Structure 1
Amino acid sequence: MTVTLRPMPDEVMRSWLDTSNAHYEAERVANGDSPEEAARRARESREQYFPGDQPIASHAVFEVLAGGEPVGVLWLGPLTDERPDEWWVFDIEIDEAHRGQGYGRATMRLAETAARERGAVKLGLNVFGSNTVAQSLYTSLDYTVTAINMSKSLLP
């Protein structure tokens, strides 16, 4: 089945933002942030990248389509204003019912093309340590580890 990207329609954007922020917040808590810190970081990220619930001009949010039907979401943009040619996958999410069918791999290849077409010379991403499936996918696509953050709880 052919996988394509289309800009996320405005009528879907707010719902996706709400869901994405809740997921990001939960992932941060699951990976060691306090609930307060996770909520703060999710709120700040939304304010920075989605003022008025629309992506800033340099970023793009796409629906991932398989055979013309939505199966996921991709959010791309420059990592910083100081390095506009170094892009970042801020979010990639394939709907649970569609996982394991190659859509994540196809979406990452489309992400590389979309970033390159917009002037990127490098594409990076962050993956939480607990997401071993995604780590395997990225490794198989020749992404390399550039940093590892580790922690240990000191609570009983």
Structure 2
Amino acid sequence: MKKIASIFLMAFLVLMPWYMAVFSERNIVANLSCVANYEILKIGSDSEQVRAFGSLYNGFSSNGKVLIHYVGDIERRDSNGDEHYNVNREAHLQYYLINNLIFTKTIGSQRLLLDNAPDVMVQRFIHPGFQQEANGRAFIYRLSERYWATGFSDSPRILCKISEGRS
């Protein structure tokens, strides 16, 4: 009986640090709330210029879901003239974390009040997660004890702060 107890104790002592490393990161991400002013300027061929600007919010929950909300504008200029769109979108994604990568899948996305932007422009210039069933991969970096940065490889990073008491 002592031999079995010592085997369980040794297994516990060996596996506990791994368990804490894996699940403590998940808990930290589960308490992240990210808000950022967001601006992108893309200049293409034929004098096309697209500017997207606004506020982007990401909120990670402990049930493996993240809420993304964006409020802002998209302006497009080219040789044919200027276009302006209002953007007010929300998306719900599932996520899981492996090291410094967050893998996501969009489970729902909808326009909110006064949103008149074309879906393709929102997905290309603001966030690919606004496309239904989209799969994504973002990087996450720990900057300090309470602050993280996250973002897709082709988008600006946003600053995230660990929220107290949120799960």
Q: Under TM normalisation by the shorter chain, which class is it?
A: under 0.3
| Larger fraction in strand | 2
Larger radius of gyration: 2
With CA pairs under 8 Å and 6+ residues apart, which has the higher RCO, 1 or 2?
A: 1
| Larger fraction in helix | 1
